[in-house]
Amino acid sequence: MSSTLSLRFILCTLFLSSLFLRHSLADVGTAAHYGPPFLPSACYGRDASQFPSNNFFGAVGEGLWDNGAACGRQYQVRCISAAVRRTCIPGQMIQIKIVDRAQSSVSRPSLAGTTLVLSSRAFQVIANASAPFINVEYQQ
């Protein structure tokens, strides 16, 4: 009987710590979208070869810009909610490469001041493209 109890205790501990780890790794923020033209970008100037060919890239807001260190970072982004019901596409996650600083992007974001700005190609994988912004969970 005591071994059953300790097994339960171990399973319970594992379950709780996995929940904790999951939440400590991902952050919550907002994401807008932007379309072309994308060049020049604050990260790569006119060098289009730095942009992923699948067009899954984005720009960061001031909170993540990190003096330019954000350039080239990869983020996994998931839509968690939006002002309009059913804006998020269930079960979808996108990985983007940071190529620009939202504040100075040539093409203006659909909303200023968001945590992330996704290329419209990336945005429409996880949400309805007509939404100006969504709430996201993101993780480097």
Ligand X SMILES: *[C@@H]1O[C@H](CO)[C@@H](O)[C@H](O)[C@H]1NC(C)=O
Q: Using CB under 6 A as the criterion, which residues of the chain lie in contact with ligand X when the complex forms?
A: 84, 128, 130
User: Rounded to whole angstroms, how far apart are CA atoms 69 and 75?
Assistant: 14
| Residue among 42 and 88 whose Cβ is closer to ligand X | 88
Min separation Cβ 126 and ligand X, Å: 13
> Of 65, 99, 84, which Cα lies nearest the Cα of 129?
84
| Residue among 49 and 130 whose Cβ is closer to ligand X | 130
User: Rounded to whole angstroms, how far apart are CA atoms 40 and 57?
Assistant: 14
Q: Indicate the residue whose CB is closest to ligand X.
A: 128
Min separation Cβ 81 and ligand X, Å: 14
b/e per residue, 24-45, with b = 16+ CB within 10 A? eebeebbbbbbeeebbebbbbe
Min separation Cβ 131 and ligand X, Å: 7
| Residue among 54 and 128 whose Cβ is closer to ligand X | 128
